[in-house]
């Protein structure tokens, strides 16, 4: 007999406004909470951006110790005690890949169904990347089921055999609330006024953490070259991250501060995108590039690097550009059709990226799994 609501434990580092966290909140808001309730275990001891909303929706927050290698035994003890104290959890959905082989193995020992979820696909471009892949590798022999935001993300983390096994793996699309991104001329004017942007300024923007993966130095180079080609150009940068101070220093050294508006993390990305004319994402790697779905939903010409999976292409607004071919980036941006902004809602829905329909499917998946536990 199913006892509702089924409580699903999601394991992350924090619940801040970043890609994975925002994806989960999109699903959480539209899932039937009388049947499924999300709870979150995070390693960040500080209050996250989404914590209050989670608690208001009936979710719970737990804080586990961040893994440092040196605290391996303490880390395992915490998880063992957690599952002893909380036998109500039968489904554990892991989003932290580096230690998934540890906490998911412990979860299974306590009778839980273990789900591993890959949100990124990347080449090994640093020693840290290599160590991460080594730690994450055993997960493919431990988890009961595997999700990926794209086929590339599944293959990168768990290998082709698992990615192609439809009994063990599936793509869980990075669905959005497409309706709230529909272009509005009145919202565009409101946001531009709020941000002190002239109505005729040409605005290029991006959304994402200021970290290595998002290639912020490449973005600075694009800004630098654009500045030499158009006087009315301004760049709207949404996000924060560990490279923020370095990027601000580079902008100052290149005398680009006046044409760049860095507005940090926003809870209204759907509104701010209305103020943009073009969206760029020159990432070094992406699992999917969720913000590209949002940008296309907002009717923006959306240019990304050739390292972004083509599964992010929903409309003809999407275009891939070779990562370091800056001349092509500048030409694409300046030749973009910004005069004919259109409503792309039906295209997002048809591509199965609207969260309302996807949340119902995830809900049924959890119920099916719970009834087998």
Burial code of 41-54, b = ≥16 C-beta within 10 A, e = fewer?
bbbeeeebbbbeeb
Fold (CATH) for 178-350: Rossmann fold (3.40.50)
> Among 91-100, 133-142, 287-296, 314-323, which stretch is predicted with the lowest mean pLDDT?
133-142
Q: Are 40 and 76 in contact (CB under 8 A)?
A: no
- Cα separation, 59 vs 88, in Å, equals 14
Residues 208-249: pLDDT tens digits? 999 999 999 999 999 999 999 987 899 999 999 999 999 999
Residue 282 tokens, joined: 């020159």
pLDDT attached to residue 190:
97
pLDDT given at position 133: 75
Confidence band for 328, pLDDT divided at 50, 70 and 90:
very high
E strand or H helix that includes residue 258: none
Q: For the residues 186-193, what does the mean pLDDT come to?
A: 97
| Residue among 174, 207, 180, 342 at smallest CA distance from 280 | 207
Work out the average pLDDT over 75-87: 98
Where is pLDDT greater, at 124 or 308? 308
Which pLDDT score, from 0 to 100, does residue 3 have?
A: 81
- Per-residue pLDDT tens for 41-60? 999 999 999 999 999 999 99
For all residues of the chain together, what is the average pLDDT? 93
Q: How high is the pLDDT of residue 4? A: 87
* Element housing 84 (H / E): helix 72-85
Say how many residues make up the chain. 373
Q: What is the pLDDT of residue 52?
A: 97
Q: Give the mean pLDDT of 13-35.
A: 94
Query: In the chain, where are the structural domains located?
Result: 6-175+354-372, 178-350
Confidence (pLDDT) at 311: 87
What architecture does CATH give domain 6-175+354-372?
A: 3-Layer(aba) Sandwich (3.40)
pLDDT value at position 132? 64
Q: Comparing 6-175+354-372 with 178-350, is the CATH topology the same?
A: yes
Mean pLDDT of 313-325: 96
């Amino acid at each position: 007999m199913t006892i509702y609501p089924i409580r699903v434990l999601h394991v992350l580092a924090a619940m801040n406004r970043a890609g994975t966290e925002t994806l989960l909140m999109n699903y959480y808001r539209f899932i039937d909470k009388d049947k499924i309730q999300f709870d979150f275990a995070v390693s960040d001891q500080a209050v996250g951006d989404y914590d209050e909303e989670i608690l208001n929706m009936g979710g719970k927050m737990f804080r586990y110790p961040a893994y440092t290698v040196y605290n391996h035994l303490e880390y395992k003890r915490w998880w063992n005690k957690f599952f002893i104290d909380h036998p109500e959890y039968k489904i554990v959905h892991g989003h932290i890949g580096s230690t998934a082989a540890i906490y998911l193995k412990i979860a299974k020992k306590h009778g839980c169904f273990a789900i591993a979820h890959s949100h990124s696909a990347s080449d090994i471009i640093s020693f840290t990347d290599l160590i991460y892949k080594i730690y994450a590798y055993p997960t493919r022999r431990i988890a009961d089921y595997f999700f990926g935001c794209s086929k590339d993300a599944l293959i990168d983390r768990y290998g082709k055999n698992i990615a192609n096994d439809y009994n063990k793996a599936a793509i869980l699309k990075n669905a959005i609330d497409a309706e709230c991104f529909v272009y509005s001329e009145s919202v565009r004017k409101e946001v531009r006024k709020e941000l002190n942007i002239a109505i005729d300024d040409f605005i290029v923007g991006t959304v994402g953490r200021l970290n290595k993966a998002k290639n912020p130095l490449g973005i600075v180079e694009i800004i630098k070259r654009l500045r030499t080609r158009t006087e009315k150009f301004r760049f709207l940068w949404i996000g924060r991250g560990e490279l923020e101070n370095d990027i601000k220093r580079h902008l100052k050294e290149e005398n680009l501060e006046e044409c760049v508006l860095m507005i940090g993390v926003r809870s209204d990305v759907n509104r701010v995108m209305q103020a943009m004319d073009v969206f760029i994402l020159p990432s070094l790697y992406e699992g999917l590039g969720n913000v590209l779905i949002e940008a296309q939903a907002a009717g923006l010409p959306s240019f990304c690097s050739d390292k972004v999976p083509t599964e992010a292409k929903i409309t003809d607004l999407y275009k891939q550009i070779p990562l370091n071919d800056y001349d092509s980036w500048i030409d694409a941006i300046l030749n973009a059709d910004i005069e004919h902004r259109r409503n792309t809602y039906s295209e997002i829905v048809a591509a199965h990226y609207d969260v309302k329909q996807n949340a119902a499917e995830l809900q049924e998946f959890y119920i099916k799994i719970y009834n087998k536990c």
